[in-house]
Amino acid sequence: MTKPAKDARRDGPIDLRGLTLDEIEKVLAKLGEPRYRADQVAAWVFQRGVRTFDEMTDLPLTLREKLAGDFKLAGAEVVRRESSAIDGTEKFLLEYGDGSAVEAVILRDSGRTTGCISTQIGCRFGCSFCATGAMGFVRNLTAGEIVEQILALRRSVDPERVSNLVFMGMGEPLDNYDETLKAIRIANAPWGLGIGARKMTVSTAGIVPGIRRLAQEDLQLNLAVSLNSPKQRLRSQIMPIAERYSLNELMDALGDYARTTGRHVTLEYLLLKDINDSPEMAGMLADLARKLPCKVNLICYNETEKSAYAPPSDKTVERFLALLRTRCPTVVRRVSRGSDIAAGCGQLAVPKKRSR
Ligand code: SF4
């Protein structure tokens, strides 16, 4: 009997959902299978999203048995699904086979159905406005687990099509770079999920080396950065990561990203009452934004039970927006989605006993 192939990260059978077509081809070649079998397997796994090897009915039974012995199709079960009464946003709690869980969100807007995907369980960066940060870091998700999240959302909303992806859920995507990028390549590939790179957005708290690496990937991904303050000192207070990568370094990296990829970047600015919502901040933010081909997204903070912050009044937001608009090319006030089900920006979290 052949010894099952092991997944070094999980010490178990290899998850087929985390393999590229080339990798599937290689593992099948080792089993003595011809090249075209890899196309068949990839179509079953990514396009049809089957959850068992038995469903791969155009493969010989002997091969299905071999695959079932050596590989797995990491499943995630939707254990909770909540719908917003306000805007049709849906939040899903997905549980993996090892009992760990993440939240993922479906956002519906202007004819688009966007999956908001998590890349880690918890997060090590502790941004002061973020419920995921308050969980602490539990573990990275594998590429297969990230892909499975997309497949689970796709199954859940079928026949609606998940047209866009934002890697803005739990975790910092660029802190789990290799697995996130592999999942993005699988999501993007024609043999994979077939979602265009321009329909995917990676959101970072400002990991400068990750931004520089992403610029070299030859992928036309959208990049969003959680900026939240145009002042170095305040930014460090809100987001401890800013002590490691300064605002100047971050702006340089964003400029290089925009030049290399030809893509505008998005500066996300979460408005916190009496913290970063003054006219002075609006002016400084406009000065920063004018240095880059970028769009500024203004988002009002979502208050939660344990919130340290409050959202500014509508009047303050309008004043901030108006000041910004006089000096900054593209500013959008983004309405926070799914706030009644805690699916909004900075609200995703899984209770500790579930996350492990
Ligand atoms: S905002 Fe992002 S980087 Fe900051 S704690 Fe939350 S998940 Fe982590």
Q: What is the pLDDT of residues 327-345, one digit of tens each?
A: 887 999 887 777 777 777 6
Task: Go through the domains of the chain in sequence order and give each one's CATH number.
Answer: 6-72 (1.10.150.530), 76-355 (3.20.20.70)
Task: List helix spans (H) across the chain.
Answer: 21-30, 36-42, 61-70, 131-135, 143-157, 177-188, 208-215, 232-238, 241-244, 247-261, 279-289, 314-327, 352-355
Q: Using an 8 Å Cβ cutoff, are 191 and 42 in contact?
A: yes
**Locus of tokens 């979602």:** 195
Q: Is the CB of 121 under 6 A from ligand 1?
A: no
DSSP 53-113: GGG-TTS-HHHHHHHHHHEE---EEEEEEEE-TTT--EEEEEEETTS-EEEEEEEEETTEE
pLDDT of residue 195: 98
Query: Which atom of ligand 1 lies at the shortest distance from residue 130's CA?
Result: 6
Nearest ligand 1 atom to the CA of 205 is 3
Protein residue whose Cα sits closest to atom 7 of ligand 1: 171
How many angstroms is it from 99 CA to the middle of ligand 1?
23
Token duo for residue 354: 């579930």
162 neighbors 113 (Cβ within 8 angstroms): yes
Residues in a beta bridge with 104: 92
What's the gap in Å between 266 CA and the centre of ligand 1? Answer: 16
pLDDT, tens digit, 9 for 90 and up, residues 73-105: 878 999 999 999 988 899 999 999 888 999 999
Q: Which of 123, 168, 347 to mutate to test the pocket of ligand 1 (most atoms within 8 A of CB)?
A: 123
Atom of ligand 1 nearest to the CA of 123: 8
Residue 223 tokens read as 């990049």
CA dihedral 219, 162, 176, 303 (to 10 degrees): 120
Residue 288 has pLDDT above 70, yes or no: yes
Average pLDDT over every residue of 185-195? 98
The confidence score (pLDDT) of residue 4 equals 43
Average pLDDT over residues 195-202: 97
Which tens digit of pLDDT belongs to each residue from 226-255? 999 999 999 999 999 999 999 999 999 999
Residue 130 Cβ inside 6 Å of ligand 1? The answer reads yes
Handedness of CA 181, 178, 297, 88 (dihedral sign): positive
Cis check for the bond before 159: say yes or no (omega within 30 of 0).
yes
Q: What is the pLDDT of residue 345?
A: 66
Distance 114 CA to ligand 1 centre (A): 20
Indicate the average pLDDT of the chain.
91
Percent of the chain with pLDDT over 70: 94
pLDDT over threshold 90, residue 276: yes
| pLDDT-derived band at 352, boundaries 50, 70, 90 | low
The percentage of residues in the chain with a pLDDT greater than 90, rounded to a whole number, is: 79
Position with higher pLDDT, 262 vs 345:
262
pLDDT (0 to 100) of residue 261: 94
pLDDT value at residue 251? 97
Mean pLDDT of 11-29: 92
pLDDT digit string, tens, across residues 96-147: 988 899 999 999 998 899 999 999 999 999 999 998 888 899 999 999 999 9
For residue 210 and ligand 1, the question of a CB distance below 6 A is answered with no
Task: Please indicate whether residue 127 is annotated as part of the active site.
Answer: no
**Which pTM does this prediction carry?**
0.93
Stronger pLDDT, 313 or 344, i.e. the higher one:
313
Mean pLDDT, rounded, for 179-194: 98
* Whether residue 11 has pLDDT greater than 80: no
pLDDT at 3: 45
| Residue of 33, 90, 103, 148 with catalytic role | 103
Query: Is residue 82 classed exposed, middle or buried when 0-12, 13-18 and 19+ CB atoms within 10 A define those classes?
Result: middle
Q: Which two tokens stand for residue 218?
A: 């030859």
How far away, in angstroms, is 91 Cα from ligand 1 center?
Answer: 18
Rounded to whole angstroms, the Cα distance separating 153 from 156 reads 5
Atom of ligand 1 nearest to the CA of 239: 4
pLDDT given for residue 68 in this prediction? 94
Nearest CA to ligand 1 atom 2: 172
Amino acid identity at 249: E
Task: Output the CA 292–ligand 1 centroid distance in Å.
Answer: 23
Which class for 252: exposed (0-12), middle (13-18), buried (19 or more C-beta within 10 A)? middle
* 95 given a catalytic annotation: no
Look at residue 214 and tell me whether its pLDDT is greater than 60: yes
- Does ligand 1 have an atom closer than 6 angstroms to the CB of 105? no
123 lines ligand 1 (CB under 6 A): yes
